[in-house]
Chain A
Amino acid sequence: MRRVIFGCVWALVLAYAVPALAHHSPAAFDRTKEVTLVGTVKEFRWQNPHTWIEVNVPDAKGNVVLWGVELTSPTYLIRAGWKSNTIKPGDKVTVVVNPVRTGEPAGIFRKLILADGRELTERPARLGTPDSK
């Protein structure tokens, strides 16, 4: 049964982990809050400066809500094991995001859990240091 789990996790470390690699200000996101989305991939776009996932997520009332999930560039996703075909429309996925502060259905990516249980994150944006390897 698909469901949406909303959870708030006070973890200041998240603020440290989300740098300014986004082409826009990251201030729109509440980095102290995590939302876990369980749904179906509508679109996965592999491109610069941002990769994004659109996920159809049923809510508690049975309505389907389209969430937009912003990811970093493929440069850092490749380093974390992603490929352009890691997910495709129709795939069942679980995506953890830091949501935007307004309550709109959008967030910045934290973690992907595939149907087979594999988890994917992204590498830190620190090229030129061992962190990004």
Chain B
Amino acid sequence: MSSSMSRMAVAAVTALSLVASACGTGPATPPAPEAAPAALPSGGESAGTQLSALAPENIAKSRPPAPFDVTGNWFIDVSQNPEAWRFGPPYPKLTAAAQVHYDASQKAAKEGKVYRDDIGQCWPAGLPLIMTRYWPMAMVQIPTAIYMISGFMNSVRIVYLDGRSHTDPDIIVRTFNGESIGRWEGDTLVVDTVGFRGDHHWMDQGGASIPAGEQLHIVERIRMVNGQLEIEYTMTDPEYWEGEWKSTKRFNRVNDEDIQEVSCLPDLNEHLQSTTSKTQVR
């Protein structure tokens, strides 16, 4: 063993010993008399102490009744406009960093090509597009969270309703659907989402490619209106556009269909020649 490896091994053993001691499992450290389990703070708990949204103790906490329950399958209402699934046009004023992609996608479209269709290459659609991609979204609401599974690639999105705060940006694992925290304001559920992946993530595509970056911040105001789920989106990302990008979507209940298992794999794309053809601009 080299000297550096020996030092690493000693350091690792030392660290494990310290952890074991701190957890009260080390043989050399007797438990302190005052070492009774500390009560968890209520709401806004830090990482590692936050009760799971599925913990019975969390679900059982006293809370006002939810104004509505979104449990069900929902599908974007495209009965009036087949393009209603898109969040633009109109678009906000793009930054130079976004305009490069937008212009490249327009040029590709004029040549009959598709610019960086990452979703077609099986990358997750991510928020906001995952909500509207012409596949139903199954939602299950419990007092502490709404669990969403998209019929589109089975993408999972969780909206926490248990009063927690956003995860420390230094430790959050960035994802395509971000981290969603919801709170009730009268008859409206306000959902705040941050923590997005900033690569292979798009706000629109197909001739109007606009990227989504790590600074993307989405606020959804969700209401039940005449049996439809209405979501008013306010989206900011100073890396890629100026000001607020707003769009309102409405969803219909789907009571005669359940979502299914979906697998987007390279093997699939080998049989979908359009995803590998010369039409694709990487």
Contacts and interface: CB of A to CB of B under 8 A. Distances in A.
Interface string B60-85: 00000000000001110111001001
Interface string A67-80: 01010011100000
- B-side interface mostly: loop
Interface in A48-65: 48-50, 52, 54
A75 B254 CA distance: 13
Given A27-B207, A28-B274, A28-B277, A127 B257 contact: yes
A104 B77 CA distance: 34
Interface residues of B, number: 47
Given A25-B120, A101-B112, A48 B257 contact: no
Q: Taking chain A's interface residues, is the majority helix, strand, or loop, or is none over half, making it mixed?
A: loop
B233 interface: no
Interface stretch (A15-23, A83-91, A113-121): A15-23
A12 to B, nearest CB: 13
B206 A26 contact: yes
Contacts of A22: 120
B282 interface: no
A47 B176 CA distance: 25
A70 B276 CA distance: 13
A70 B117 CA distance: 17
Given A104-B278, A129-B252, A24 B257 contact: no
Contacts of B82: 16, 19
Given A28-B113, A47-B263, 19 more contacts: A21-B134, A24-B117, A25-B120, A26-B206, A27-B109, A28-B275, A28-B277, A45-B271, A47-B268, A48-B260, A48-B261, A49-B152, A68-B273, A70-B272, A70-B273, A100-B279, A101-B113, A101-B279, A126-B75
Interface of B: 73-75, 77-79, 82, 85-86, 109, 112-114, 117, 119-122, 133-136, 152-153, 205-207, 251-254, 257, 260-264, 268, 271-275, 277-280
Interface of A: 16, 19-30, 43, 45, 47-50, 52, 54, 68, 70, 73-75, 100-102, 104-106, 108, 125-129, 131
